[in-house]
Structure formats: C-alpha cells, structure tokens
Amino acid sequence: EAQVTQNPRYLITVTGKKLTVTCSQNMNHEYMSWYRQDPGLGLRQIYYSMNVEVTDKGDVPEGYKVSRKEKRNFPLILESPSPNQTSLYFCASSLSSEVYYNEQFFGPGTRLTVL
C-alpha cells in the first residue's frame, strides 16, 4: 500500500530533551516536506526537500532541523524542544514540488506535547 508513515504518532516530552520524528514514504517520491498544524493557524510549512541531500526552510523553521540522506526518509529533529513546539506535525510527499500536478500525500500526523 502506498503511504507516508510517521513515528511516533503521539509523544509527550520535556523541554530540552532532543527528539526525532521519523517520516518514510514508499512511493519513490522526490519531494517531501514537514508542516505543523496549530488551532486557528492551519498548517504551516517547516522544511521541505526537493530531492536527496537538498533541503530548504519553509515558513516556520526555527527550532527544527531535517536531513534527507535517503529518498524515502525525511526525519524532523527538535534539538531542544520548547513548549511553543507543542503541535500536530504532518509529513507529506509527492513526485515533485509541482504539487498542483502531482498530488501531495500526507502522513497520519504526530501529536507532540512539550512540557
């Protein structure tokens, strides 16, 4: 089954404790991105990757890191999480960045709470 998977689905952590949210897709997609969803703000892009080894900042990159060493994986790293990073996180992928043409597939979401 073609899908985007994220782990963990739920995470409660404390301020300053480094964490990684994994994202993997099995569709051989070139393009991957991360969004965060907050009430009243919709979804906002954190980082994106056009292809392996090429990543760039989205609209809200502060406090986050990413890496794209393999085509299928795009982990989101929070080096020192803070309470304002409590949010619902989505990973997404598509064949290319032309998401108007190539549908963007979203993962199931990761609910992160930072105490």
Partner 1 sequence: AQTVTQSQPEMSVQEAETVTLSCTYDTSESDYYLFWYKQPPSRQMILVIRQEAYKQQNATENRFSVNFQKAAKSFSLKISDSQLGDAAMYFCAYYVYNQGGKLIFGQGTELSVKP
Q: Which residues of this protein are in contact with partner 1, per CB under 8 A?
A: 31, 33, 35, 40-45, 48, 50, 56, 58-59, 88, 90, 92, 94, 96-100, 103-104, 106, 108-109
110-114 vs 10-13, strand pairing mode: parallel
- The rounded radius of gyration (Å) of the Cα atoms in the chain is 13
Looking at the Cβ atoms of 76 and 92, the one nearer to partner 1 is 92
Looking at the Cβ atoms of 19 and 50, the one nearer to partner 1 is 50
The full length of the chain comes to 115
Looking at the Cβ atoms of 25 and 94, the one nearer to partner 1 is 94
Largest CA distance in the chain: 40
